[in-house]
Amino acid sequence: MLAPLHVVCIQSRIISLLLLVVLGLPQLAASSETALSFTVQTSPTKSTLLSIQFPTPQQGWAVGSGGTILKTIDGGKKWKRVTSGTTALLTSVFFADSSNGWVTGAGGWFSRTMNGGESWSPQSLATQQPLYAVSFPSPSIGWVVGGGGTIFHTTDGGQHWKEQVSGTMAALYAVQFIDEKKGTIVGALGTILSTSDGGATWTPQGTQSAVTLFDVSFTDASTGWAVGNAGALFQTTDGGAKWVDQTLPCGNTCTKLTDLLKVRFTSRREGWIVGERGTLYRTTDAGLTWSEGKSIAPASLFGLSFPDATQGWASGENGTIVHLQLSR
């Protein structure tokens, strides 16, 4: 006698969960433990905003095409333009504290502020390569990465920069240092570079894939995530010695795998990914499952920042800025 349909469905679900536990495969979850709301904020620009950072829940910056720099001091209720001194495409913004920040851009553009972003001064780096990302684990120690395998390092808050040997010519799109010694860089052609000596040496790590990786986020010295094009999602639990392919499957509404452009974890268990077509994914169980990607804006999202675990901001095409809030 055939089992009732609902019993078969339950049995299938149990088998799927068992496979998930045994094989460690990611799945799309139907819902999250806490309610998520999002608001598209009023932006004074239609420029593409490639990067956004909120060091505090009130103070934030966004940068993008045409030399655009935006600043808010009230959590995004009002954004104002700040003179950047360039019309170059600005690719990333990073603040080490409320006063000291840096912006990277095309053609080797690099600038610094020491007054909370009210004014910006260009800094000279010996490159014409596009610069894509900057990371300062402390106000004095920092790294910049870019095209052609470019890596620059400072030990004096950006007054002087020294080029480091990357061992690759691939474009490097993101860099994260969890302290002044241990850092990870990701980029084109599946490139992942790791250092445990402050960049004196960079060691390539393998993903067994040539997919372009756009961002990386570590929750501690061992556990990290990298995202890229065509839904690429890789996880490491051993500091990068091994990266496991966790590429998300197409969900019910998926017509093609979405490019994943930015990943951030606010704790060991809770993480966020944004990408093209305004897609947002969320995990509350350390990546075991991810909520099915939904569009939170009519534009691709490139930037993502969380000043705390209760709220964050995303930025993207056409000046889009989205405020994410959690109710617990």
In the chain, % helix, strand, coil (3-state, to 5) comes to 10, 40, 50
Dihedral sign for Cα atoms in the order 6, 7, 8, 11: positive
In the beta sheet, which residues pair with residue 162? 153
User: Which H or E run includes 61?
Assistant: strand 60-64
Q: Do 180 and 138 meet the contact criterion of CB atoms below 8 Å apart?
A: yes
Whole-number Å distance between alpha carbons of 43 and 246: 35
User: Which H or E run includes 16?
Assistant: helix 5-23
Residue of 282, 231, 221 lying closest to 259 (CA atoms): 231
Residue of 251, 296, 254 lying closest to 30 (CA atoms): 251
The mean-pLDDT minimum among 131-145, 249-263, 299-313 falls in 249-263
Residue 26 lies in a domain: no
pLDDT band at 117 (very low <50, low <70, confident <90, very high): confident
Whole-number Å distance between alpha carbons of 194 and 151: 12
Mean pLDDT of the chain: 88
Residue 78's pLDDT is what?
98
Q: Do 205 and 194 meet the contact criterion of CB atoms below 8 Å apart?
A: yes
Residue 127: count other Cβ atoms within 10 Å of its Cβ.
Answer: 18
Name, in order, each residue with C-beta under 8 angstroms of 275's C-beta and a sequence gap of 6 or more. Answer: 227, 258, 259, 260, 261, 262, 281, 293, 300, 301
Residue 8's pLDDT is what?
34
* Domain that includes residue 205, residue range: 32-327
Q: Which DSSP string corresponds to 194-249?
A: EESSTTSS-EEE--S----EEEEEESSSS-EEEEEGGG-EEEESSTTSS-EE-PPP
Whole-number Å distance between alpha carbons of 155 and 136: 10
CATH number of the CATH domain containing 57? 2.130.10.10
Mean pLDDT of 292-299: 87
Task: Quote the percentage of the chain above a pLDDT of 90.
Answer: 74
Mean pLDDT of 248-257: 65
Q: Which residue has the tokens 């402390």?
A: 138
Residue 30's pLDDT is what?
43
Residue 9 lies in a domain: no
Residue 83 lies in a domain: yes
- What total of structural domains would you count in the chain? 1
Mean pLDDT of 313-317: 98
Mean pLDDT of 269-295: 91
Task: Quote the percentage of the chain above a pLDDT of 70.
Answer: 88
User: Which H or E run includes 105?
Assistant: strand 101-105
Q: Do 53 and 95 meet the contact criterion of CB atoms below 8 Å apart?
A: yes
Residue 7 lies in a domain: no
Residue 203 lies in a domain: yes
* First vs last C-alpha separation in the chain: 47
More confident residue, 35 or 274: 274
Whole-number Å distance between alpha carbons of 266 and 204: 27
- As given in the structure block, the two tokens for residue 111 are 């600038």
Residue of 283, 287, 229, 235 lying closest to 258 (CA atoms): 229
Residue 242 lies in a domain: yes
Residue 43: count other Cβ atoms within 10 Å of its Cβ.
Answer: 18
Residue 21's pLDDT is what?
33
pLDDT 10s digits, 90-116: 999 999 888 899 999 999 999 999 998
pLDDT at 132 over 60: yes
Residue 291's pLDDT is what?
87
Mean pLDDT of 259-272: 95
Residue 1 lies in a domain: no
- Judged by phi (left if over 0) then psi (alpha if -120 to 50, else beta), residue 10 lies in alpha
Whole-number Å distance between alpha carbons of 235 and 122: 36
Residue of 203, 213, 291 lying closest to 251 (CA atoms): 291
